[in-house]
Amino acid sequence: MPEGDDRHPFLEGLSRHRGAPSTIMVIFGASGDLTDRKLIPALFNLALDNLLPGEFHLIGYGRKEIPDEEFRQMAGESIRNFSRRPMDEKPWGDVKRNLSYHAGAYDDPESFKSLAEKISEIEKASGRELQLVFYISTPPTVFEPIIENLGASGLANHLVKGKPGAKVIIEKPFGRDLDSARKLNAVLGRNFDEKQVYRIDHYLGKETVQNLLVARFANAIFEPIWNREYVESVQITVAESVGVGSRGGYYDHSGALRDMIQNHTMQLLSLIAMEPPVSLDPESIRDEKVKVLKAIQPLVLDRLEEADVIRARYTEGLMEGKKVPGYLQEKDIPADSTTETYAALRLLINNWRWKGVPFYMRSGKRLARRVSEIAIQFKRPPGILFSEGRKFDVAHNTLVIQVQPDEGMTLLTNSKVPGLQTRTQPVKMHFRYSATFGSNTPEAYERLILDAIVGDSTLFIRGDETESSWRLVTPILESWDSLGNHGMARYAAGSWGPLEAERLLWSNGHQWRQTGI
Ligand code: BG6
């Protein structure tokens, strides 16, 4: 690393990405929130680390008429407002020079024809064929017309040196149930080969999530005990303190199960539970993840008091001492809404490794704190020594993987309390990313955009993977649809969720962990 270079040490391992092919990236939904907050800042940080292709063109595509210069200014503002590192005009200048805007409708073949013309002009001026990366970051209602138009305009079949030279990155939500996900996969399949498709789940780009595979398979100590012989239960918590804010219109059609559980928490579950892949190539890893999803036992849904799922909605409460409204009082939420802002599930994975081990998952908005963690709770030691007669004296050993914030890993073990008596107390061994590696970790979108440009699909979701996960979640949605608000629990904003969520764990003698310890 040259002196004064503040590149993150992790990036050393990414040097292979320097071979990124010359690319034209088109962002659909260029004036949207995701482009503003995440995509442009991610591109800037890649430019800062010199990881973008030597020749890189960016075309923003959107319905609004925006002059090129204004779009360049908007991009500069995004960086100033949202980048993890401050604006540096020099590396950004190289990107800015090749940045333009194309106004067009998403369902209008003519707009795509003129996009194709623009692309071919860029190629002509460059004197070579360039890879095309289409990033669909629009509302889901226009995913299909965009994909069809990419096919019809010939852009999906763009060739570079006679080989497929177009890729499509597609944002969530990937469908709203099994049928719509299948339909979207079919539309993609008609216009692109699966190898060209990159379905985003930004949790997979998070450093700690990528570390799950390293923690499990680069350490010999965990794998022998990572099974039903030693593991008592697994808890996955993805808690948010934010409410729905200005996204009420979107959220009320989605809810916690679709917005977080079907994708983000299911991804965490499959990485935690999968078998070791035969290699690190994308297909081997994704094959193992799909097997986990397929092995999940169908859920009990019909008897509310025994169901494997519970849902709830936040009511008015206190967040950091300030009063905040309940979900039904938020902007754009109808008074008769049946949408849940919290969901918790109890799952069993019916395979050799996990048979009988409950996996608990919960996610919600307006919970006490923003925290995502995975806790592997191990069985207690037999109670013949330290816990005899005092059953709960010796705590479970627990391995906690903190996904965010305060990324790291903690192992809870039991220790003797100093003194003349023999008493035990749980103690913690901590590893913190920030303490070991510094705090300037790349954002998920940096890694994902770069991987798509380079052609590494490991951290993207395969078509059959989304369908497996929807297959599990769709019956829950159908059952909730038929119940309306019947069975919808409540929790005060700022709390840890509804009391009813405890019921899922009681029958096995478990309880939700207090997160962050
Ligand atoms: C998105 C959801 O996928 O993930 C949002 O649509 C949620 O509702 C967000 O807030 C959480 O992401 P992160 O990275 O902040 O945990």
239 and 151 within one domain: no
Distance, CA 203 to ligand 1 centroid (Å)?
9
For ligand 1, the distance from its centroid to the CA atom of residue 118, given in whole angstroms, is: 34
pLDDT of residue 384: 65
Specify the 3-state DSSP secondary structure of 343.
strand
Nearest CA to ligand 1 atom 14: 203
Q: Predicted confidence band at 296 (pLDDT cuts at 50, 70, 90)?
A: very high
CA 511 to CA 447: how far, in whole Å?
Answer: 36
pLDDT-derived band at 389, boundaries 50, 70, 90: low
The answer to whether residues 203 and 461 touch, using CB atoms and an 8 Å cutoff, is no
Probe residue for ligand 1, chosen from 259, 366, 369 as the CB with the greatest number of ligand atoms within 8 Å: 259
Q: Write out the two tokens for 96.
A: 């800015």
Where a domain ends, among 150, 182, 200?
A: 200
Query: For position 95, what pLDDT does the model report?
Result: 92
Q: Are residues 196 and 245 in the same domain?
A: no
Cβ atoms of residues 499 and 342 within 8 Å: no
At residue 186, does pLDDT exceed 60?
yes
Residue nearest to atom 9 of ligand 1 (CA): 260
User: Which residues constitute the domain of residue 82?
Assistant: 9-200
1 located within any domain = no
HSE value, Cβ hemisphere, 13 Å, CA-based, for 96: 20
Shortest CA distance to 147 belongs to which of 204, 201, 192, 93? 192
Task: Name the CA dihedral angle for 469, 470, 471, 476, rounded to a multiple of 10 degrees.
Answer: 110
CATH number at residue 375: 3.30.360.10
What pLDDT score was predicted for residue 517? 62
Same domain, 147 and 210: no
Query: Of 200, 226, 247, which one is at a domain's C-terminal end?
Result: 200
The two beta strands, 408-416 and 398-404, are antiparallel
404 part of a folded domain: no
What is the distance of C-alpha 262 from the center of its chain? Answer: 10
Identity of the residue numbered 85: R
The answer to whether the beta carbons of residues 136 and 29 sit under 8 Å apart is yes
Same domain, 370 and 273: yes
Residue 412 domain flag:
no
Q: How far apart are CA 490 and CA 405, in angstroms?
A: 26
Q: Are residue 285 and residue 351 in the same domain, yes or no?
A: yes
| Candidate from 251-255, 269-273, 382-386, 413-417 with smallest mean pLDDT | 382-386
Q: Identify which has the larger pLDDT, 105 or 404.
A: 105
* pLDDT score of 388: 56
For the Cβ of 148 lying below 6 angstroms from any atom of ligand 1, the answer is no
CA of 388 from ligand 1 middle (Å) equals 45
- Count H helices and E strands in the chain, helices first: 16, 19
Q: Which of 33, 264, 371, 443 to mutate to test the pocket of ligand 1 (most atoms within 8 A of CB)?
A: 264
405 Cα to the center of ligand 1, angstroms: 13
DSSP per residue, 209-227: HHHHHHHHHS-TTTGGGSS
- Provide the number of structural domains found in the chain: 2
CB 232, CB 377: distance < 8 Å: yes
Better pLDDT: 298 or 387? 298
Average pLDDT of span 438-448: 89
pLDDT at 17 over 60: no
Contact 260, 363 (CB under 8 A): yes
Burial class (CB in 10 A: 0-12, 13-18, 19+), 12: exposed
Report the b/e string of 43-79 with b at 16+ CB within 10 A. bbbbbbbebbbebbbbbbbbbeebeeeebbebbbebb
The Cα 465–Cα 198 span in angstroms is 12
Residue nearest to atom 10 of ligand 1 (CA): 240
User: Ligand 1 pocket check: which of 38, 202, 327, 447 to mutate, most ligand atoms within 8 Å of Cβ?
Assistant: 202
pLDDT tier at 406, thresholds 50, 70, 90: confident
User: Which of 277, 262, 491 lies closest to 366 in space, CA to CA?
Assistant: 491
Q: What's the CA gap between 317 and 241, in Å, rounded?
A: 12
Ligand 1 nearest-atom number relative to CA 404 = 16
List phi, psi (to 5°) of 470.
-65, -35
CATH code of the domain containing 158: 3.40.50.720
Q: What percent of the chain has pLDDT over 90?
A: 83
Residue reference for tokens 């409950």: 358
CA distances from 379 to 217, 292, 361, 375, 416 (A): 21, 22, 19, 13, 19
Whole-angstrom CA distances from 257 to 40, 273, 339, 426 are 29, 20, 10, 34
User: Nearest residue CA, atom 6 of ligand 1?
Assistant: 259
Quick one: which of 260, 296, 294 has its CA closest to 465?
294
Q: 55: CA distance to ligand 1 center in Å?
A: 32
**Parallel, antiparallel, or unpaired: how do β-strands 131-136 and 166-170 relate?**
parallel
126 and 240 together in one domain: no
- Please tell me the predicted confidence (pLDDT) of residue 380: 87
- Whether the upstream peptide bond of residue 145 has omega within 30° of 0, thus cis, is no
Cα separation, 268 vs 345, whole angstroms: 14
Per-residue confidence band for 12, with pLDDT thresholds at 50, 70 and 90: very low
- The backbone torsions φ and ψ at residue 513, rounded to the nearest 5 degrees and listed phi first, read -70, 150
Residues 69 and 164 in one domain: yes
| Average of per-residue pLDDT values in the chain | 92
Among protein residues, the one with the nearest Cα to ligand 1's atom 15 is: 240
| The pLDDT of residue 480 is above 90 | yes
Q: Tell me the average pLDDT across 200-221.
A: 93
Tens digit of each residue's pLDDT (9 = 90 or more) over 304-326: 788 999 999 999 999 999 999 99
Ligand 1 pocket check for 407: Cβ under 6 Å: no
Residue 141, SS3? helix
Break the chain down into helix, strand, coil percent, rounded to 5. Answer: 40, 20, 40
pLDDT of residue 393: 65
Residue 219, Cβ neighbours under 10 Å: how many? Answer: 9
Give, for ligand 1, the residue of 240, 251, 371, 515 to mutate: max count of ligand atoms closer than 8 Å to Cβ: 240
On the question of pLDDT at 18 being above 70, the answer is no
Residue 459 to residue 198: CA distance in whole angstroms:
9
Indicate the pLDDT class of residue 416, thresholds 50, 70 and 90: confident
Q: Is the CB of 465 under 6 A from ligand 1?
A: no
Closest CA to 12 of 437, 432, 403: 437
> Strand, helix or coil at 35?
helix
DSSP one-letter string for 228-248: TTTEEEEEEEEE-----GGGH
Instruction: For ligand 1, say whether the CB of 201 is within 6 Å of any of its atoms.
Output: no
Residue 446: CB within 6 Å of ligand 1?
Answer: no
Instruction: Calculate the CA dihedral of residues 247, 250, 251, 255 and round it to 10 degrees.
Output: -160
Of 283, 344, 276, 337, which Cα lies nearest the Cα of 308?
344
User: Which pair of tokens denotes residue 122?
Assistant: 């860029």
- Between 249 and 303, name the one with better pLDDT: 249
In whole angstroms, give the CA distance from residue 454 to residue 199: 15
Residue 449 counted as domain residue: no
| pTM of the predicted model as reported, rounded to 2 decimal places | 0.92
Cis? peptide before 173, omega within 30° of 0: yes
In short, whether 373's Cβ falls inside 6 Å of ligand 1 is no
Mean pLDDT of 455-461: 94
Is any ligand 1 atom within 6 A of the Cβ of residue 207? Answer: no
Q: Looking at the structure, tell me whether residues 120 and 37 fall in a common domain.
A: yes
Ligand 1 atom nearest residue 264's Cα: 3
Q: Are residues 232 and 192 in the same domain?
A: no
| For residue 23, pLDDT beyond 50 | yes
Pick the more confident residue, 12 or 424.
Answer: 424
Same domain membership, residue 261 and residue 159: no
In a domain, 512, yes or no: no
| pLDDT, tens digit, 9 for 90 and up, residues 83-115 | 999 999 999 998 999 999 999 999 999 999 999
User: Same structural domain for residues 167 and 260?
Assistant: no
Question: Does residue 240 line the site of ligand 1, with CB under 6 A?
Answer: yes
Distances, alpha carbon 427 to alpha carbons 96, 387, 413, in Å:
52, 16, 5
259 lines ligand 1 (CB under 6 A): yes
Output phi, psi for 317, to 5 deg: -170, -165
Q: pLDDT value at position 129?
A: 94
- Say if residue 214 is in the same domain as residue 235: yes
**Domain end marker among 148, 166, 200:** 200
Per-residue pLDDT, averaged over 273-297, amounts to 95
Catalytic residues: 264
Taking the CA of residue 242 as reference, the ligand 1 atom at the shortest distance is 10
